[in-house]
Structure 1
Amino acid sequence: MPRKKKPVIEYRHYSLPIHFPVLLLSGERWKISDIKSEHLHFHNHLEIGICYSDSGIMEIKGESVPFTAGDVTFLPRYLPHTTYSSPGEASLWSYLFFSPEDLFQHSFKSAYSNFEPNLWAVLGKNCILNKDKHPMVYSLATSIVEELQQQKPYYQESAYGLLLSLYIELLRIHSTNEALTDQEAGHSLKGDFVISPALEYITRNYMLPMTIDFLADLCHLSTTHFRRKFHEMMGTAPLDFLSSTRIEEACKQLKSTEDSILEISEKVGFHSISSFNRCFSKLMGTSPKEWRKSAQSETQSAKASILEFTGWV
């Protein structure tokens, strides 16, 4: 009997605007076909999706969860999923991407250290919230999209307040939702995305020294198996992913601060200016000094060149 083919998992990296780190994807381009993709995908930021029309299925954590117009989806970063519409339909969506710990770090009390709920322990069906059952969620989400589209005076301040309200409402809902048992959550993690702990650690602690052995231990894998699994899912080596994460942060700081290149290189985790310059030039195709000079618009994507060089989706 032939082996069941493993699903391909794609990493989609979105670079957020620097001064207001919220990305909106909307418009007629964001229609989802009724053809089921053979690929799962995941993102580097929390994703909130709003379905405006039609219906279909989301594959989350091995579950096939139906959606319909008016639903709002709430998916953590690094959670593999895919979406397809019902036969003959093409559902229309808007998507918001942001990192709660970056956006809300000054709004929450210090006691709230974990900004994203552990959705590895949440049932996939709880990631889709219906308009009739959760009207406030739908109202807040659609209002945020309108603010970002219309860009009236003070739209960023308004969008920030609405996003904070929406996020708190989502945290409240998920804190009371049915959750998987520890055993079920562990099985789901192993089956879907065993390298997630390493990705989370790199995202939160990129400025610290780390080794492949340490990252492999976080995932309860041997170093050899971890290297192979990481490259299989990410299309790059673990330490290359760490380097690109550091360089993206360096791009943000080069553009948004007056800090020296040496100061920035140390803040993002490089121990010598020469290694920082080499890594930056390799990924971005130019020196940090030249990149800073050419960074013109706020919407420039710090990651664009990195995507080109590493071949990530």
Structure 2
Amino acid sequence: MSIIAPEIEMVDRSTRSIRYLEHGWPNELCRWHAHEEYELHLITATRGKAFVGDYIGDFKAGDLFMTGPNLPHNWITDKVWTEPAPTRDMLVQFSHESVGKLAEGFPEFAQVLQLLQLAQSGILFEGFNPTFARGHMESIRDNKGAERILAFVRFLVRLNEHAEKKTLSAAKLIQPEGGSKQARIAEVVDFIVKNFSDVISVGQAADMARMTEITFSRNFQAVTGHSFVEFLNRIRIGEACGMLYASDDQIITISQMAGFKNLANFNRHFLKVKGMTPSEYRDTARKDLAPQMEPTS
């Protein structure tokens, strides 16, 4: 079992379709966990490290995130903050089913489903005005019944319109759906995810998608937002992240298991994708996410 296996949280939605929470820091809710619901999460105080799936990055007050179903997450305030924060987190949890049924009843709302698809990997809404974000959260908090739902829907629409959406976790990169070209690209994505450690060439992938290499490369970039090689490396790095913090295997062994035949190449791509070296990633993940051991006498 991984030393940082997430705690699974069960959310009771029997009497409400969305759940609003806010809490300070430190708090027992600040933990590495996952749940079936989507979560909109606004940081209102402190700064530190954000953990979303295999993503590790900095967060600061005003940052707004969205996480998808069963995507582990946690926000850990840096230890330079010695005074408790009365309110550090404002968050809303909701199900795919609720938004899906809304889109069924109101086709104009269906475009918001694209936002939920991105959230499978986790989203940071870069540059979203923190005052507006807090205002939306407060409106959801302060309203009841149908008015709360309207406030929530209004926030989702604004977020969907926001241009700067940064996806976070390589391990949760989603499979696109849609027309025939997208479906063929999705087949390739599925193959990559399942066979990431194998040697997979652009030519092989293009043959699988029944396209020429030029056409395949153009369509793959359009659908995934990455070139084929970039995407393959992101998947491999994502898999390596899991092995780094869940095992004591040597980094060279992990690099080979992830599909990199050259350690220097692995280190270079890892640094590019994660912003830190593999050893730094392992140290950071274990220090901040591993359960705190009681001192022994």
TM-score, normalising length: structure 1: 0.45
